[in-house]
Structure 1
């Protein structure tokens, strides 16, 4: 209603001014009668009122929809046969179809990029696997242990690129299963045993052996790998340990990863989930892409896992994953 009066405010003002001018002219005419003047003004306002009432009822859906659009409604089609409403619907239909066509083209290009990235990563993994086999067969060569470490870093980078590309199509690439947490943790530790040895870091496992969660094992494995590798990467003191424990807390399966690393600056903690954000540690120690924790936070949201990261500089970081009730 407010929008209707705002739209017709100028028309009403002009009509009042017109009635005042015409009335003044007739009033100054000696032959004009006062009753005729009042009657003419009355008829003029009666016609204006009839016009406004007609226009309000005909265009009421239009003004109502415009008012609703400010409150978050997104269905902009308006019911009615008034030419203004029909033109409005035609214009919206035109832009909607154009937008859908652009979205379709963008989706095609994005899918091609994901497909290219996936194929490229798989192609790169083949020579890496071959080099791994060569270094394992020639274990006596003194430079091969360092080469295997660098090959492992390449594999981690390729996995990160692959999962980053697939993350945009997560809904098409996940399966919920009953997952044994301890088995996944042991698999991640086994995959990174050379990194543990290189850092002289000892995994300390306190797992509830009967703890299962309903989630996607492939994505959870990737998340645990990112979190554990981060804990290893930013632990500089040799001879320390990495604590990984799980248990039921308030009927919710909970996993904690506690390191004795350099910790995260308090100013960086609220921003570690942003893409490409490396923070103070990433600049100081390098080797950080800023995508690992971003993907972990995104996956936790999609898998309904609550993640909490607490850290203190110089003392270490604690990552807590709380899974939904079984």
Structure 2
């Protein structure tokens, strides 16, 4: 209603001024009757009122749509046969079709980029695998420790790029099944044993053999790998421990991963789930892309896993993953 009056304010002002001017002219005419003057002004305002009432009821859906900001829907079509409403619907339809065409092109380009990234990662994995096989000769192992470490870092980076590319198609690439937590934890620890040896860091696994959860094992292994590799990366002193244990919290199976690393700044904790955010540790120690924990948070949301990260500078970090009961 307010928009309607603002839209017709100028018309009403002009009509009032017109009535004043015409009334003044007739009033100055010696032959004009006062009753005729009042009757003319009355008819003029009666016609204006009728016009405004008609226009309000005809354009009421239009004004309501323009002022309704709390509906929450995206249907911008307005019902009515008024030329203004028809022109409005035609304009929006034209822009909508243009937007859909542009969005379709963007989807095509995005899928092409994902496909290219996936193919590129797989192509890069082949020479990495060959170099790993070459350096696995135990007789020559003393010549290759640095090379094997760098190959492991390269392999981790390729896995991160591959999972980042696949995440956009997560709904097409996950399978929920009952999995044993201990088996997956041991798998991730075994895959990173050379990093543990390099940092002289000792994993302590206290995981219940009988604890099973319903989740996607492939994505969960990726999440555990990101968390454990981060724990190793940001533990600078030798002889430290990484404790991996399971508990029951709020009647739900829960996995806790506690390190004795450098910890995370309090100011960085609320923002570690942002993409490409490296924080103080990323600037100080390097080797951080800011995508690992971001993907972990996104995957937890997809898999309905509650994640909590508590940390104190100098005292290490504890990552808690609470799984749904079913």
Q: TM-score higher than 0.5 here?
A: yes
- Report what 2:249 is aligned to: 249
| 1:175 Cα deviation after fit | 1.8
| 1:72 Cα deviation after fit | 4.1
Correspondence 1:325 to 2:322: no
| 1:209 Cα deviation after fit | 1.7
Which moves more between the two structures, 92-101 or 1-10? 1-10
SS in 2 for 1:142: helix
Runs of 4+ in 1 over 4 A off after TM superposition: none
Which moves more between the two structures, 39-48 or 201-210? 201-210
Listed as ranges, the gaps of 5+ residues in structure 1 are: none
Do 1:138 and 1:144's aligned partners in 2 also have CA atoms closer than 8 Å? no
Q: Deviation per CA, 1:170-195, whole angstroms, max 9, x where unpaired? A: 22222222222111111100100111
Cα separation, 1, equivalents of 2:82 and 2:203: 74
- Report what 1:116 is aligned to: 116
Q: Deviation per CA, 1:200-234, whole angstroms, max 9, x where unpaired? A: 11111111222222222111111110000000111
Cα separation, 1, equivalents of 2:145 and 2:155: 15
Cα separation, 1, equivalents of 2:166 and 2:147: 29
Cα separation, 2, equivalents of 1:200 and 1:321: 26
| 1:141 Cα deviation after fit | 4.3
Change (3 A) 1:267 1:31: same
Cα separation, 2, equivalents of 1:289 and 1:30: 91
- Report what 2:214 is aligned to: 214
- Give the alignment of 1:1-326 within 5 angstroms: 1-69=1-69, 72-137=72-137, 139-326=139-326
| 1:138 Cα deviation after fit | 5.0
Cα separation, 2, equivalents of 1:70 and 1:27: 52
State the aligned residue count: 326
Q: Deviation per CA, 1:50-84, whole angstroms, max 9, x where unpaired? A: 11111111111101111114664422110111110
SS in 2 for 1:99: helix
Q: Deviation per CA, 1:65-119, whole angstroms, max 9, x where unpaired? A: 1111466442211011111000000000000000000000000000000000000
Which moves more between the two structures, 157-166 or 278-287? 278-287
Q: Deviation per CA, 1:123-169, whole angstroms, max 9, x where unpaired? A: 00011111111111354342223222111111000000101111122
Cα separation, 2, equivalents of 1:29 and 1:71: 57
Do 1:175 and 1:216's aligned partners in 2 also have CA atoms closer than 8 Å? yes
Cα separation, 1, equivalents of 2:317 and 2:205: 16
Do 1:139 and 1:145's aligned partners in 2 also have CA atoms closer than 8 Å? no
